[in-house]
Amino acid sequence: NIAGRGKLVGCYLVLASDGVWDVLSNRETADLVLMLHDILLMNRDTDEDKVEESEKFSSATDLSLSQEVVRRSALLIAQTAQRRGSSDNITCMVVKLHPKESDEPTQPKSVYSRLSRL
């Protein structure tokens, strides 16, 4: 079955082994990825204030943001699973589902308080 989900800006797919899913819920894993997306987006916006206007919206900047999100979030998920004492092999890959970045944070502020408990 194929189902449409509308606009996929800011959406990621997490592929992971049992070593991750045994100790992290889907929601916790999604929160980790989206939190990193928002943090890196905010940092990029701050850094862009220092860049010339003509360079602000380059596709290279968007690509590097996506690359950083998938790289860092896969590592964070694996490290979190390890810290939680996973007894199985831990493998994680994060895939960006849409090439265009969102200019808005993906999470409400309340999610960050939940993440502090991870």
Domain ranges (residues) in the chain: 12-115
Contact between residue 91 and residue 16 where contact means Cβ atoms under 8 Å apart: yes
**Using CB atoms within 10 A of its CB, is residue 55 exposed (0-12), middle (13-18) or buried (19+)?**
exposed
Q: Are 14 and 92 in contact (CB under 8 A)?
A: yes
pLDDT one-digit tens code per residue, 59-118? 455 567 888 899 999 999 999 999 999 999 999 999 988 755 554 555 555 555 555 555
The pLDDT confidence band at residue 43, using thresholds 50, 70 and 90, is confident
Q: Is 103 exposed, middle or buried (0-12, 13-18, 19+ CB in 10 A)?
A: exposed
Helix (H, G, I), strand (E, B) or coil at 16: strand
List pLDDT tens digits, range 23-32. 999 999 999 9
